[in-house]
Structure 1
Amino acid sequence: MKRFTCDELAELITAYLDDALDDSSRAAAEAHLACCGDCGNYLDQFRTTIRALGDQPPEKLPSGARERLMSAFRGRRRS
């Protein structure tokens, strides 16, 4: 089984939380989390942040802002 360093696990934490890792990578991540308190704390902090911010309502754009943005994107794409 692959062994992750703390830095490698930190890079994969969102994929881990999204259940987007293959089985062997997920098992390796869980093995690392089981023996590394620092990474376990990092995972807990990430989950706390997601719970706190994950259900924020989308911001409303000021009137006309969406069309100005879309126009700017279209103009940029033609360049």
Structure 2
Amino acid sequence: MTCAEIVELVTASLDGALDPETAERFAEHLALCDGCAIYVEQIRRTAAEVGQVEPEHLSEQTRDRLIEAFRTFPRG
């Protein structure tokens, strides 16, 4: 598995949605690639922290900035 594949599959991995063979290849790559292991841990921590934010606790300005960031995020 390549580093680019790790980036593409990180969300599915964190959601437990990878098939067993792909999950094994994912884990094997992380065991050998410190950069990807750090990246996956950063994504995991970010998701855990953001998941704790209640929408009603965001200021209107912060909410609007987040929505705009997602709208303009590069795709592909």
The TM-score, its normalising length taken from structure 1, stands at 0.67
1:36 is aligned, of 30, 33, 36, to 33
Query: Which has the larger Rg?
Result: 1
CA RMSD of aligned residues (A): 1.4
Q: Which has the higher helix share?
A: 2
CA distance in 1, matches of 2:56, 2:4: 33
Instruction: After TM superposition, list the pairs within 5 Å mapping 1:1-79 onto structure 2.
Output: 4-59=1-56
DSSP 3-state at the match of 2:4: helix
Give the unaligned 5+ runs of structure 1.
61-79
Q: Could you give the per-residue CA deviations for residues 24-67 of structure 1, whole angstroms, max 9, x where no partner exists? A: 0000000000000000000111011112211111249xxxxxxx
- Which consecutive aligned stretches of 4+ in structure 1 deviate over 3 angstroms post-superposition? none
Which shifted more, 51-60 or 25-34? 51-60
CA distance in 1, matches of 2:56, 2:11: 24
